[in-house]
Structure 1
Amino acid sequence: MTLALDTAAQDLLFREAHTANAFTDEPVSDEQVQAIYDLIKYGPTAFNEQPLRIVLVRTPEGRERLVKHMAEGNRAKTAAAPLVAVLAADNEFHHELPRLLPSFPQAKDLFFSERPVREASAQLNGALQAAYFIIGVRAAGLAAGPMTGFDAEGLNKEFFGDGEHSVLAVVNIGKPGDGAFYPRSPRLEYDEVVTTV
């Protein structure tokens, strides 16, 4: 059985795509990021939740604020990437549900009135959206370097400060540079992952 995507698209999005650790100095434009978002916003989530929030770090001042919260091994590549996106989940996403889910406006109060339930849902659906974002970066012909090596509490305070957001990932974005990719690591095979009942 073949996939609906042609081989070139499969390679671009999955087989040939790697986490990038080095980039050229070619800038990533606002138009490119807008095109990425306009594609990935359609990725499915539970209740059509849209908890993902994105902070684009472009300025030297913003980069300095970001890099100090990154793990030591992630600082240099984050400082050098053409663009960095801080991806976070908005734990108060439920206020948007009546607009995003007009066929079920009561979902906001029926399911998400308690903070722990909202946070768990924001984390899961925000992580789904973060994965779509990485695929969108690849679809734009760019490379992504997603990282979780950072001081999450520090980043939450530095870029959100309201106690309502939880940083999910930091993603370096750009055209891959020399030595951008490490050799492909092994993946589990189908029979190791899939069972049928």
Structure 2
Amino acid sequence: MSFNVLNDAALNQLFRDARTVHAFKDTPVSDAVIHQLYDLLKWCPTAFNAQPARYVFLKTAEAKAKLIPALMPGNVPQVQSAAVTVIVAQDTRFHEHLPTQFPGYDAKPLFDANPAMTEATAARNSSMQGAYLILAARALGLDSGAMSGFNPQAVNEAFFADGRFKANFLINLGVADPAGVHPRGPRLAFDEAAQIL
């Protein structure tokens, strides 16, 4: 059986040559590219087609200034140099959209009755959607750097005061400054990380 495998250039861009970037060139990312990015990542799967991730794309100095107090000091230059910093958040009431987004059956009551399942589903699937965003950015020729070094409560207070959305993690986007690209770290071998049963 043959598979429709992407060519090596595409695989290199998505995986082998891509790096987590810590500094970016002064190259803007247009709103049109941000829309294109979302229009790619939105097709990736989530449980119940729940799509709990919510994205806030910070481009302006004013928007980033609201974020900077919540960052660990070492992460401030990364955000300042990035063309865009994305707050990947999770919608705590994502299940309100299930009647239109998951028409197979009425799944909303499952989440209405089970807050723990709702929270776990939102966290797991918004994390996956953030990873999809990174791959979509790479596919469009952008570089990225995901960050978890921030105070989520401070981000929530600054951007999501009504409490519905909760910050998950941050992603910086732009064009890499070579000075901010470190050598690739090692990876576990297959036998250390996986098994086939």
CA distance in 1 between partners of 2:81 and 2:156 (Å): 22
Match of 1:69 in 2: 70
Deviation track 1:78-132 (CA, whole Å, cap 9, x = no partner) reads 112111111101110000001001111x200024433222111100000010000
1:20 and 2:38 are equivalent in the alignment: no
Normalising to structure 2: TM-score of the pair? 0.95
**1:55 to partner: Cα distance:** 0.6
Partner of 1:184: 184
1:64-143 aligned within 5 A: 64-104=65-105, 106-143=106-143
CA contact (8 A) 2:56 2:87 kept: yes
Number of aligned residue pairs:
196
* 1:1-57 Cα distance to aligned partner (Å, 9 max, x none): 877111000000000000111111110011111111111111111101111101111
Rounded Cα–Cα distance in structure 1 between residues aligned with 2:179 and 2:112? 46
Per-residue displacement from partner, 1:145-164 (whole Å, max 9, x unpaired)? 11000000000111111222
Could you tell me how far apart the structure 2 residues matched to 1:21 and 1:11 are?
Answer: 20
Aligned pair in 2 of structure 1 residues 164, 193: CA closer, same or farther (>3 Å)? same
What is the rounded CA distance, in whole Å, between the counterparts of 1:68 and 1:138 in structure 2? Answer: 28
Cα offset for 1:177? Answer: 1.2
Question: 3-state SS of the aligned residue for 2:64?
Answer: helix
Q: Give structure 1 stretches of 5+ with no counterpart.
A: none
Asked if 1:59 is matched to 2:63, the reply is no
SS in 2 for 1:150: coil
Structure-2 separation of matches of 1:140 and 1:103 = 33
- Partner of 1:179, secondary structure, is helix
SS in 2 for 1:23: coil
SS of equivalent to 2:117: helix
- In structure 2, C-alpha distance between the alignment counterparts of 1:172 and 1:83, rounded to whole Å: 6
The equivalent of 1:169 in structure 2 is 169
Instruction: Provide the alpha-carbon RMSD of the alignment.
Output: 1.4
- 1:38 corresponds in structure 2 to 39
Q: Distance in 1 between matches of 2:93 and 2:45?
A: 19
One-letter code aligned to 1:191: D
Preserved contact between residue 95 and residue 111 of structure 2 (Cα < 8 Å):
no
Distance apart, 1:190 and its partner CA: 1.0
Give the residue type in structure 1 aligned to 2:92: N
Letter in 2 for 1:132: Y
Moved more, 157-166 or 125-134: 157-166
